[in-house]
């Protein structure tokens, strides 16, 4: 037998199992949601890295394309002026200085020509302002404070130091130089240069260029916002750092290139998602690059926050539902069963008075109350029978004791009910006639003894059946308690599971609606991109027409001779501007096309997420089927309750058998009365007296036997 101190209450076991089932479902749903959040964060981070890199590429290209257009226009103006016969060095210095004044983003404008290649008069300008001792045309206009100043270029004929001139001159191709240091106005400046060669008749005559201070690039790129607190680095073709957040690293080599997108360890940001994209400039062989580093900690911050919120919510839900289940179990099962157990213990102690009860809230509890009432009524009836039987047997024992002592005047005194009253009358009548019928009295005494034995056997059998009935009823109470607990547990679990699954499915349906709205919004973005592309096509056409008009204006200025030289320069500038507008329009169109491709990619990814949500809905349907299975189990539990009811009916049959035994006792009493009547008839012809003293002694011996 189990130690009652080591067992838990039925309410505790019910609430514990229900809480564990609820906790398992909530934890599973939370883990699945956390996984989807992390996956979504990684996809968003990848898209954000690509967009940030593309934006940075566009910013770098835009920052360099305008200076490139300026230097191209400046070269075209110089070449056009020389072709028109304007070889005055002061005039060309005026173009260089005007270009520098009109473009504040430039550090310097310059040009360098081969010996006597500009106007054949180098000897006349040796040592003049803006010239070195060779007299070559090498003016260098640069910023000095708030004004501009002129000095001659230096080291232009030396390899390495003069690469700003030699590379473009020797290759005949436009050159975007690696970051390098150059003295400007007496101070060393870290810069890069854009140099365009001047070629006439297949021979390189000189180079026209501009200088850009990398400090200005720091200002431009420092304004670019990088998501997740990331970092942008601009790398030259030789992988020197032209821009980085750490100013001390500018001009220094960068780490080796990485694949298109990968996770690497950064000494400052830790683990980062690194995206590297090339920056190509039209007409230039040098390919720079932009590197974007996004810290993984920042990328996953939102997902981690969601996971923490889910964890806290799950713990709160589990605690709340466990408390509710516990309270419901105690109210519905624990308290009624405790009250019923206390009432049955009181009944077992012999207290047969009804006790006050709380209203029953379950059919099983009502049936158990009815069964206890039946037990109480049977116990009362049994107690009355036993009391009457004890009184009758006690009186009979006293009379028999007197009879055994030879007292034939013994009588059953007192008032008896039912069969015992008949027994009293018969016994007293028999004793009256017993005095005259010694031999018949002996036989009648034997018959009375047999009748008494039957009564005693019936009483013992009735007592044994009553004990078996009490044992069976005790087992029935335990079985009914366990089955009621199972039915209640299954019903509560099925109801709560259905509610949780319905709520979660509603949330998933809402998420699907949001994704479909996101797809529609991306479609609108794609249509807007197409409309912008059409507008850019119109702008490209306008630039082409402007180019034709500028060409015609240049032709007319050439026909006008010296009077149209200035106009020719302006026409050349307009033409160059139209050409750059056309190039910019094509570049914007390419970017819009790339943006449309990214939007389509986004639509595809969102569609995959929608499919994932549909699969999740399918899993929720399976959970609903499990809830139905739980309900089926509840039906089976109800069948078990019906079997217990059958046991109750069997116990009722035992009670009826007990009643039959009482009737048998009554029949035996009647038979005993008949025998007493027979004895009365036998001794009707006898009388007692002194003559019959010997016979009285024989009768006494028979009774003693």
Tokens, residue 239: 């992988």
C-alpha–C-alpha distance, residues 14 and 16, integer Å: 6
* pLDDT, greater one: 151 or 441: 151
Task: For residues 181-203, give the mean pLDDT.
Answer: 88
pLDDT band at residue 455 under the 50/70/90 scheme: low
Highest mean pLDDT of the ranges 31-40, 195-204, 485-494: 195-204
Q: Which residues pair with 212 in a beta bridge?
A: 192
Average pLDDT value for residue range 667-671 = 68
Buried b (16+ CB within 10 A) or exposed e, 235-274: bbbeebbbbbeeeeebbeebeeeeeeeeeeeeeebeebbb
Of 411, 413, 392, 391, nearest to 403 by C-alpha is 411
pLDDT confidence of residue 95: 92
- pLDDT at res. 263: 76
Does the pLDDT value for residue 15 go beyond 90?
Answer: no
Phi and psi for 436 in degrees, rounded to 5? -105, 5
pLDDT band at 8 (very low <50, low <70, confident <90, very high): low
Name the pLDDT band for 74 (thresholds 50, 70, 90): very high
Per-residue pLDDT band at 361 (split at 50, 70, 90): low
More confident residue, 361 or 576: 576
Give the pLDDT confidence score for residue 689 in this predicted structure.
Answer: 45
Q: How does pLDDT run across 470-508, given as a tens digit for each residue?
A: 676 667 667 666 766 776 777 677 677 767 767 766 777
Higher pLDDT, 594 or 224: 594
686-698 average pLDDT score: 46
**Highest-confidence segment of 166-180, 528-542, 547-561:** 166-180
Question: For residues 334-367, b (16+ Cβ closer than 10 Å) or e, as one string?
Answer: bebbebbeebbeebeeeeeeeeeeeebeeebbeb
Q: Which superfamily is assigned to 1-120+142-147+159-316 in CATH? A: PAS domain (3.30.450.20)
Pair of tokens at residue 676: 């007493």
Q: Are 311 and 30 in contact (CB under 8 A)?
A: yes
Per-residue CA distances from 646 to 641, 651, 652, 657 (Å): 9, 9, 10, 17
pLDDT of 634: 66
Query: For residue 7, what pLDDT band results from cuts at 50, 70 and 90?
Result: low
Q: Comparing 1-120+142-147+159-316 with 505-623, is the CATH topology the same? A: no
Select from 152, 85, 93 the least CA-distant residue to 119. 85
Q: Is the pLDDT at 398 greater than 80, yes or no?
A: no
Mean pLDDT of 234-260: 78
Query: In the prediction, which pLDDT does 686 show?
Result: 44
Residue range 605-619: average pLDDT? 74
Higher-confidence position of 554 and 276: 276
Element holding 190 (H helix, E strand): strand 187-200
Measured CA to CA, the distance from residue 500 to residue 325 in angstroms comes to 14
d(CA 267, CA 354): 84
What is the rounded distance in angstroms from the CA atom of residue 141 to the CA atom of residue 107? 9
Query: Which pLDDT band holds residue 302 (cuts at 50, 70, 90)?
Result: low
- Please give the CATH number for the structural domain made up of 505-623: 1.10.287.950
Task: Give the confidence band of 304 by pLDDT, cuts at 50, 70, 90.
Answer: low
Domain residue ranges of the chain, discontinuous segments joined by +: 1-120+142-147+159-316, 360-499+649-704, 505-623
Does residue 109 surpass a pLDDT of 80? yes
pLDDT in the model for residue 125: 92
More confident residue, 689 or 619: 619
pLDDT at residue 137 in the model: 94
The answer to whether residues 234 and 243 touch, using CB atoms and an 8 Å cutoff, is yes
The answer to whether residue 540 scores a pLDDT higher than 50 is: yes
Q: Which residue from 369, 368, 373 is spatially nearest to 480, judged by alpha carbons?
A: 368
Judge whether 473 and 371 are in contact, CB under 8 Å: yes
User: 692 pLDDT band (50/70/90 cuts)?
Assistant: very low
Task: Lowest mean pLDDT of 6-15, 166-175, 552-561, name the range.
Answer: 6-15
340 versus 437: the higher-pLDDT residue is: 340
Q: How confident is the model at residue 527 (pLDDT cuts 50, 70, 90)?
A: confident
Beta bridge partners of 500: none
Q: Say if residues 577 and 517 touch (Cβ distance below 8 Å).
A: no
Residue 700 scores a pLDDT above 60? no
pLDDT tens digits along 253-284: 887 776 666 777 777 777 877 888 888 888 89
Half-sphere exposure of 263 (CA within 13 A, CB side): 9
Average pLDDT rounded to a whole number, residues 502-530:
73
- Specify the pLDDT at position 240: 86
Mean pLDDT taken over the chain = 75
d(CA 448, CA 444): 6
pLDDT score, position 698:
45
Statement: residue 227 has pLDDT above 80: no
Instruction: State which H helix or E strand residue 514 sits in.
Output: helix 438-560
Q: What is the mean pLDDT of residues 513-523?
A: 74
Over residues 43-48, the mean pLDDT reads 70
DSSP 526-579: HHHHHHHHHHHHHHHHHHHHHHHHHHHHHHHHHHHGGGGHHHHHHHHHHHHHHH
Tell me what pLDDT residue 206 has.
Answer: 94
The neighbour count for residue 563, using CB atoms within 10 Å, is 8
């Amino acid at each position: 037998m189990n130690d009652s101190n080591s067992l838990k209450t039925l309410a505790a076991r019910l609430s514990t199992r229900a809480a564990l089932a609820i906790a398992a479902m909530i934890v599973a749903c939370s883990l699945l949601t956390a996984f989807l959040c992390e996956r979504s964060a990684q996809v968003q981070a990848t898209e954000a890295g690509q967009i940030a890199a593309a934006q940075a590429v566009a910013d770098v290209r835009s920052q360099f394309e305008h200076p490139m257009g300026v230097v191209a226009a400046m070269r075209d103006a110089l070449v056009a002026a020389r072709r028109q016969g304007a070889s005055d060095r002061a005039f060309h210095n005026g173009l260089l200085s005007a270009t520098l004044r009109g473009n504040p983003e430039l550090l310097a404008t310059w040009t360098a020509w081969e010996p006597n290649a500009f106007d054949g008069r180098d000897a006349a300008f040796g040592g003049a302002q803006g010239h070195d001792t060779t007299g070559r045309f090498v003016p260098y206009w640069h910023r000095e404070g708030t004004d501009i100043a002129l000095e001659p270029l230096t080291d232009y004929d030396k390899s390495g130091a003069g690469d700003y001139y030699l590379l473009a001159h020797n290759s005949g191709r436009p050159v975007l130089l690696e970051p390098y240091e150059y003295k400007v106005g007496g101070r060393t400046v870290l810069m890069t240069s854009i140099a365009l060669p001047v070629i006439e008749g297949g021979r390189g005559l000189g180079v026209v260029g501009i200088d850009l201070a990398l400090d200005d690039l720091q200002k431009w790129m420092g304004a670019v916002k990088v998501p997740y607190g990331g970092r942008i680095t601009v790398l030259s073709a030789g992988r020197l750092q032209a821009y980085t957040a750490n100013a001390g690293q500018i001009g220094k080599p960068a780490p080796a290139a990485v694949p298109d997108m990968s996770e690497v360890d950064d000494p400052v940001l830790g683990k980062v998602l690194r995206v590297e994209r090339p920056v190509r400039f039209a007409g230039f062989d040098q390919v720079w690059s932009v590197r974007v580093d996004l810290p993984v900690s920042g990328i996953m911050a939102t997902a981690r926050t969601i996971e923490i919120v889910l964890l806290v919510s799950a713990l709160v839900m589990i605690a709340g539902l466990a408390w509710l289940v516990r309270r419901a179990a105690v109210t519905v099962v624990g308290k009624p069963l405790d009250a019923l157990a206390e009432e049955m213990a009181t009944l077992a102690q012999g207290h047969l008075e009804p006790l006050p009860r709380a209203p029953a809230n379950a059919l099983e509890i009502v049936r158990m109350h009815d069964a206890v009432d039946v037990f109480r009524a049977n116990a009362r009836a049994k107690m009355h029978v036993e009391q009457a039987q004890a009184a009758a047997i006690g009186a009979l024992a006293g009379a028999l004791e007197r009879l055994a002592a030879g007292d034939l005047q013994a009588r059953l005194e007192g008032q008896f009910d039912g069969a015992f009253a008949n027994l009293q009358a018969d016994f007293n009548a028999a004793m009256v006639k017993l005095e005259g019928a010694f031999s018949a009295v002996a036989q009648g005494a034997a018959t009375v003894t047999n009748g008494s034995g039957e009564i005693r056997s019936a009483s013992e059998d009735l007592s044994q059946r009553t004990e078996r009935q009490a044992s069976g009823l005790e087992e029935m109470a335990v079985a009914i308690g366990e089955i009621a607990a199972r039915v209640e547990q299954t019903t509560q679990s099925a109801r709560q599971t259905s509610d949780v699954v319905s709520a979660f499915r509603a949330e998933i349906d809402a998420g699907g609606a949001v994704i479909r709205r996101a797809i529609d919004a991306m479609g609108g973005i794609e249509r807007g991109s197409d409309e912008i592309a059409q507008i850019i096509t119109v702008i490209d056409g306008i630039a082409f027409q402007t180019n034709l008009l500028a060409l015609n204006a240049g032709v007319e200025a050439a026909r006008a001779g010296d009077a149209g030289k200035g106009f020719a320069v302006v026409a050349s500038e307009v033409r160059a501007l139209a050409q750059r507008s056309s190039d910019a329009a094509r570049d914007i169109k390419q970017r819009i096309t790339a943006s449309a491709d990214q939007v389509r990619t986004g639509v595809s990814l969102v569609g995959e997420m929608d499919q994932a949500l549909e699969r999740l809905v399918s899993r929720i349907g399976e959970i609903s089927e499990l809830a139905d299975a739980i309900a089926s189990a509840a039906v089976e539990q109800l069948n078990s309750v019906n079997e217990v009811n059958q046991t109750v009916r069997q116990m009722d049959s035992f009670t009826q058998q007990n009643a039959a035994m009482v009737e048998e006792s009554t029949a035996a009493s009647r038979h005993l009365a008949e025998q007493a009547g027979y004895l009365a008839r036998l001794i009707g012809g006898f009388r007692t007296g002194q003559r019959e003293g010997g016979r009285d002694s024989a009768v006494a011996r028979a009774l003693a036997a």
